[in-house]
Amino acid sequence: MKRAKNMSIACGILAASLSFGASAFAFSDLNGNPAETKINALHDAGVINGITSDLFAPNAKVTLAQGVQFLVKGLALTPGADTGSNSSTASSYFDNVKDNAWYASSFLTAKQSGLTLAQNANPNANLTRAEFAHLLTEALQSKGDFAVTKMYFMVEDGDKLSSEVMNSLQILLNTKVITLDNGKFRPADIITRSEAAVMVHDAAEFAARVINQDNTVIEPSEPEPVPVNNYISDVVLEKAAEGVNKATITVDNLPNPGYGLAVERIEFTSATKAVIYFKITLPDPDMMYPQVITKGTVVTYLPEGYTATAEPVMGSRWLQPATDVE
């Protein structure tokens, strides 16, 4: 199986065939739920069902069997050409999966697609958010390559995660399939039906947006011109957690305190060097600010062992392309 290296820019993805739009169907227990539109769209696409004809049970816990079914149907997984005979049965891979079980075909497809499901996996066991996210990443990786911005996200409650699971979270965070809640992911919590459905929906939507119908990867656009930095930037690194450094970027000479900074992306130029690209954010037009030169500060995170410099991106105020400089 093709596995993504830590912070890799090339990962596997499915050319999604699902199209999510306005739903004609509505589960009665989702009224006002933020995930309502996405869940109903998945139902319309034939990916998920409710516990009854009109109830979805959004807060119910997800079992491994349900989670595997979500992934296989939601991402339209199919076994790769090198997985061997298609006549294999689920019971030949799994001790606890009978071939006549409703989830047997999904387990077989998931295994043949490269998902790391143990031989003694219990289909009735509950899935944690971290376990589901890891399987979701593997499902995306099973279908091809796509570019990922190598921004390192600090997951405040991820200190006990394995490097493999953390890497999966970084991929999903960089592709915006998942987000953090005040810096936390709650990896040990059992994932709910609504949480799993939203992740699957957003993963399929990302795939459809990034990869063409013929599985051709959309190449990144041409690099933007290198801007001239008309103000002084500084990066200070300090240890934030085991294997992670906090990078504080400070920029001088901003016109007033209303201007700020935002990290646009991070490029790892070698095994030990990184360039942090920032942009200038504009003041709130409804606020009054003292007209004094000020500093702007923004924080991001890097793997331990990297040094870093900061550079502005095009589009920041007062910046001109280098080619314009005489």
The pLDDT value recorded for residue 187 is 96
pLDDT at 294: 81
> Which residue is associated with the tokens 């990034």?
210
10 Å CB burial of residue 235 (0-12, 13-18, 19+) is middle
Report pLDDT for 194: 95
Q: Which residues of the chain have pLDDT under 70?
A: 1-25, 80-87, 149-150, 211-231, 289, 291, 314-326
In this structure, what token pair is assigned to residue 157?
A: 């409650």
- pTM of the shown model: 0.64
The contacts of residue 280 (CB under 8 Å, 6+ apart) are 251, 254, 259, 260, 261, 296, 312, 316, 317, 318
10-11/307-312 β-pairing: unpaired
Each residue's pLDDT tens digit, 90-111: 999 999 999 999 999 999 999 9
